[in-house]
Structure 1
Amino acid sequence: MKRVVITGQGTINALGHDVPATLEAMREGRCGIGELDIRDVERLSIRIGGQVRGYEPEAHFNRQQIALYDRFTQFTLLAAKEAMEQSGLSFIGELSQMSGVVLGTSGGGMNTLDENYRSVYEDGKNRVHPFVVPKLMNNAAASHVSMTYNLKGPSFTVATACASSNHAMGLAFQIIRAGGSQVMITGGSESMLCFGGVKAWEGLRVMSKDACRPFSANRNGMVQGEGAAVFIFEEYEHARARGAEILAEVVGFAMTADASDIVMPSKQGAARAIAGAIRDSGLDPSDVGYINAHGTGTAANDKTECAAVADVFGAHADELMISSTKSMHGHLIGGTGAVELLACIMALKDGVIAPTVGYQEPDPECTLDVVPNVAREAKVDVALSNAFAFGGLNAVLALRRA
């Protein structure tokens, strides 16, 4: 079994257009959620989101590329570029044949879908652009990353709702650990903040109209976000041989299914995923110092997640730090686990725990240390990243300090 390390990271999200800006916002406990600036926002009941502000596609892509890249693909390519530059890798020869990309997304090209439904049904047009299908397909981002960086090994997309990124990164980890690849580009992205995307989520009645307050007694729902985060997962000996900076080591992964309800979370399913990731890492529960929670801000998720953590860790649960960065960048659905992994790496590498902002009232059903409102300095050796999706699909990653 090979060891797997992270040698590059990149992002664009509501907190920043790159990793340094994002981590600075997390350290400051700054919230990137605000009023949506999208077409027909006045027809929506939910008018807030973790939107990427100040982003101009023309500053990064030419006209032909914009015609082919949906917003979620654009975000992915920008994040991948930052991660690749940090890693210092170049994919040529045998390394190209042995490297691939696994990305997570839930909606894929939702903006393209929304625009073209409008074109046909609202504007009455009978023809759409010939690139609509390759632009909106869920694997578009993974395919463009593979073409951009000459990745000819295992490459595919995972779509498991809110667990998509964690599933993608877990599978990338397993591929390298099993010897199937030396390097994998992995992570996820999402861009659902268009009229149709927000209107669909409104129908679930799980959205907040004012703020995301995970674990707070007065929480009233989740808030959507958008963006991407991409990482370079690399076999340890390969990274060491070339003198690469190692940001963290990926040491465990587990995935479970609740097999119970399409939207309601299960304590048992979540607990099995958490315990499975720890078991897969070969570590003890007492080694874990920080958990980046799924922490959506809904009544059902937060109390279920706290109960699952308490079940797995027992008395050690009271010593754990657990926070939800969704309170700052929103819920990126299929891309959320990737952006949240940045907080896990920051905890391990820099000793800074990102806070749960917007926390106002203690909840007797969520009594864990949720690092309320203010970031905290602490030495952490092992961190977990939780993702629990609609459909009862759970994925948990375990990381260790390099």
Structure 2
Amino acid sequence: MELRRVVVTGLGALTPIGNTVEEYWNSLINGVSGAAPITYFDTTNFKTKFACEVKNFNVEDFIDRKEARKMDRYAQYALVSTEEAVKDANFDFDTLDKDRVGVIWGSGIGGLETFQEEVMNFAAGNGTPKFNPFFIPKMIADIAGGHISIKYGFRGPNFTTVSACASSTNALIDAFNYIRLGHADVMVTGGSEAAVTIAGMGGFNAMHALSTRNDDPKTASRPMDKDREGFVLGEGAGALVIEEYEHAKARGAKIYCEIGGGGMSADAHHITAPHPEGLGARNVMLNCLRDAGLKPEDVDGVNMHGTSTPLGDIAESKAIIEVFGDHAYTLNLNSTKSMTGHLLGAAGAIETIASILSIKHGIVPPTINHFTDDENIDPKLNFTFNKAQKRDMKVVMSNTFGFGGHNACVLVKKLDM
């Protein structure tokens, strides 16, 4: 069976450093940090008092107030980013076959804030079970994709992927496969997360996963830096409209790039720590290259998972050297999490968008907040530290790794590759 080609025709972003794709990209290439003191709740008793929140966002600018109250923030973010992506794709809805348009969304946690509020209200009410009737449909991780399909009438394949921080990359790979296997012509895919909550911050602090650099939050996310000490929690959403190539061409769509392939693997090692030698990270990149039918030397850059954790950055750097060999030293590597923080299940979507835009504009966003080399990370690797670099990017890979050892990697390339 000949696989169909898949291209990207629409992008949408709602991030801690920009509420549209254009704002997000401008912040990325200018090295803007989205970290700031938390505004959602009192952090007096929390070890970490900052995060990368979405800023200047009023949901009622996009969604009717009554409807918005029925949605957790993670679902609101999904709808808003999808609206931008669908508008960008510029469909003629009178001729679009909605039976052939699906939605595969990713979220690592779903409606955490809703769950937290309902349980806290229950406890404050002396055990009286007066739950909001929208509690369950606001909380469940699959509801964002449901809202998207309902809003636009998309009746194709529809489900949600949950693989922690790899969730939206897994969603994109699934959507890609559904199109190239002929099950759909168009898919809306991506991911959203809204875990900057009491439960989210408290839980990650208990694991010692978060940076506690409260005196200097803007430099707290410092991937590959010797003094990194944890990730910075972020929130938001990224949406992509992907489409079968001939379908896109026939309607005269603007095409950003082609999706070349996707890879998946498992560390099979530990519930939270990466394999120390980067075994799963190595395998997922090799699987992605194999799926794309490309050689390591065809790749120009890798948007790393690069969370700013002591173990993770080392393991991923080792894996890159093992996969790419001497070519690793010619790659532009970067971690946009240095600016956005870690959006958990939405990370893969917004980082794939960054990779696509680096191809479109010929610019690699930087890894900011680098001050001191880590002797455990090869200093000859080009991590695009502190300043964006111009480069003709033809092929870019984007890595995402999740708790539980879930690894996903997607490769995007110029259409004429």
TM-score bracket, normalised by the shorter chain, equals over 0.9
Cα separation, 2, equivalents of 1:390 and 1:13: 22
Q: Does the Cα contact within 8 Å between 1:293 and 1:323 map onto a contact in 2?
A: yes
Q: Which position in structure 1 is the counterpart of 2:262?
A: 253
Displacement of 1:357 in angstroms is 0.7
Q: TM-score, normalised by structure 1?
A: 0.98
C-alpha distance in structure 2 between counterparts of 1:61 and 1:40, whole Å: 27
Which of 131, 134, 159 matches 1:128? Answer: 131
Aligned to 2:392: 379
Selected match of 1:172 from 175, 179, 189: 175
Question: C-alpha offsets along residues 119-174 of structure 1, whole Å, 9 cap, x if unaligned?
Answer: 11134453021111011110110000011111111000001001001000011011
Offset at 1:94? 6.9
Letter in 1 for 2:191: G
Q: Aligned partners of 1:237 and 1:330: how far apart in 2? A: 37
The answer as to 2:404 corresponding to 1:391 is yes
8 Å contact kept, 1:91–1:150: no
Which string of whole-angstrom CA distances, capped at 9 and with x for unpartnered residues, describes residues 273-300 of structure 1?
0011011111111010010000000011
For residues 173 and 19 of structure 1, the distance between their equivalents in structure 2, rounded to whole angstroms, comes to 21
Query: 1:53: which partner in 2?
Result: 55
Which of 180, 185, 188 is residue 185 of structure 1 equivalent to?
188
Cα-to-partner distance string for 1:235-273 (whole Å, 9 max, x where unaligned) = 000001111110111011010111121111121111010
Over the residues paired in the alignment, what is the CA RMSD in angstroms? 1.2
Q: Deviations over 1:294-330 (max 9, x none)?
A: 0000011000000000000000000011100011011
Alignment match, 2:211: 208
User: How many residue pairs were aligned?
Assistant: 402
Q: Which amino acid aligns with 1:127?
A: K
Q: Deviations over 1:20-62 (max 9, x none)?
A: 0000000101111111112232121111111011112222222
- Cα distance, 1:365 vs structure 2: 2.4
CA distance in 1, matches of 2:78, 2:269: 33
The whole-number CA distance in structure 1 between the counterparts of 2:229 and 2:92 is: 47
Match of 2:329? 318
Q: Quote how far apart the aligned CAs of 1:95 are.
A: 1.8
Q: Percent identity?
A: 36
The letter for the 1-side match of 2:372 is: E
Superposed CA offset, 1:50-82 (max 9, x none): 101111222222232122111011111010000
**Which runs of 5 or more structure 1 residues have no equivalent in the other structure?**
none
Quote the residue 1:233 is aligned against: 242
Amino acid of the structure 1 residue aligned with 2:5: R
2:22 is matched with: 20
Q: What is the TM-score normalised by the length of structure 2?
A: 0.94
Q: Does 1:264 align with 2:273?
A: yes
Q: Does the 8 A contact of 1:91 with 1:149 survive in 2? A: no
**Could you say which residue in structure 1 is the equivalent of 2:370?**
359
Which ranges in structure 2 are unaligned for 5 or more consecutive residues?
A: 214-219
8 Å Cα contact 1:252-1:399 kept in structure 2: yes
Does structure 2 retain, via aligned residues, the 8 Å contact 1:14–1:329?
yes
1:364 to partner: Cα distance: 2.5
Number of the residue aligned with 2:31: 29
Matches within 5 A, 1:266-305: 266=275, 267-305=278-316
Counterpart of 1:118 in structure 2 is: 120
- Structure 1 counterpart of 2:216: none
